[in-house]
Amino acid sequence: MQPEALTGSCLCGSVKFEIKPPLSGFRYCHCSRCQKASGSAHASNIFVPQSQMKWLTGEGLITRFDVPGAKRFSVWFCSRCGTRVPHKVRERDDYLVPAGVLDEDPAMRPQNSIFWNSKAPWYVEPAEIPKFSEYS
């Protein structure tokens, strides 16, 4: 069963938002822009229609960056702590929500990995490496 609403927040807690399921998609994106924007191997992107997304606090602290020359790629982040927050996808009805900023389990799981051919050369599938519950 899907939760009624999911909340999310940035690292410093200034920016808070709420999204309402059903979510329209969940994917890992390995494109080079997502690598830069996330500082990691891939972004974990959830999509939700604009009407199901609501800012609760801190909207005024959000800095928006539209990548020059990009059709849709934007990065919105909390100007106090730098955490990436959801952004309205240009030319589409959707918000892109970075899954890691959610405070609750979205119930949905990633459906696919896109831009697989652009993946970082150092990326190793998690199944292939040892796991520890704390620092090792």
Binding site for Zn ion (CB under 5 A): 10, 12, 14, 29, 31, 34, 78, 80-81
Nearer to Zn ion, 80 or 88 (CB): 80
Nearer to Zn ion, 13 or 22 (CB): 13
For residue 93, the minimal CB distance to Zn ion (Å) is 19
Q: In sequence order, which ranges of 66-116 are alpha helices (DSSP H)?
A: none
Cβ neighbours, 10 Å, residue 90 = 11
Q: How far apart are CA 126 and CA 47, in angstroms?
A: 24
For residue 56, the minimal CB distance to Zn ion (Å) is 13
For residue 117, the minimal CB distance to Zn ion (Å) is 12
Nearer to Zn ion, 5 or 81 (CB): 81
Q: Kindly give the pairing relationship between strand 16-19 and strand 53-57.
A: antiparallel
Q: C-alpha angle with apex 125: 119 to 126, nearest 5 degrees?
A: 135
Strand pairing partners for 9?
16
What is the helix (H) or strand (E) element at residue 37, kind and residue range?
helix 32-38
Nearer to Zn ion, 20 or 80 (CB): 80
For residue 37, the minimal CB distance to Zn ion (Å) is 8
